[in-house]
């Protein structure tokens, strides 16, 4: 098991970073079995990960962006419940950015 980072936080907690999710899950399982009543292990997850898409064609609007992404990328298995476009941004060169 490879630990990349081991940090002591001001709140008295310990932050441990590993190379993969499998190692994190193995470390959590070890912690729960060996120190179950004394220590608590929590795996951090992102609440709202953000994706910025550059160079969107100007004829694509907010309403048809979702359909365009789903039809162009069927291999990603995107779900409409988990996808929500926030807003369109305009850059100086007027290329679309989402």
Query: Is residue 31 classed exposed, middle or buried when 0-12, 13-18 and 19+ CB atoms within 10 A define those classes?
Result: middle
- What is the per-residue pLDDT across 48-75, written as a single tens digit (0 to 9) for each? 777 777 777 777 777 777 788 888 888 8
Q: CA–CA separation, 96 vs 70, rounded Å? A: 18
Given phi > 0 = left and psi -120 to 50 = alpha, else beta, which region is 55?
left
pLDDT higher for 93 or 37? 37
In a domain, residue 23? The reply is yes
In a domain, residue 14? The reply is yes
The answer to whether 67 and 80 have CB atoms below 8 angstroms apart is: no
For residues 30 and 58, state if they share a domain. Answer: no
For residues 92 and 61, state if they share a domain. Answer: yes
Please give the residue range of the domain that contains residue 20: 3-35
- What is the per-residue pLDDT across 20-54, written as a single tens digit (0 to 9) for each? 888 888 888 888 888 877 888 888 877 777 777 77
For residues 31 and 58, state if they share a domain. Answer: no
In a domain, residue 85? The reply is yes
In a domain, residue 44? The reply is no
Give how many domains the chain has, as a whole number.
2
In a domain, residue 45? The reply is no
In a domain, residue 75? The reply is yes
């Amino acid at each position: 098991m490879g630990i990349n980072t081991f940090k002591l936080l001001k709140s008295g907690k310990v932050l441990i970073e590993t190379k993969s999710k499998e190692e994190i899950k193995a470390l959590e399982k070890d912690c729960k079995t060996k120190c179950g009543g004394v220590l608590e292990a929590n795996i951090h997850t992102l609440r709202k990960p953000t994706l910025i898409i550059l160079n969107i064609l100007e004829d694509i609007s907010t309403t048809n962006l979702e359909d365009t992404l789903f039809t162009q990328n069927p291999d990603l298995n995107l779900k409409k419940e988990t996808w929500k476009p926030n807003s369109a941004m305009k850059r100086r060169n007027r290329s679309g950015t989402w």
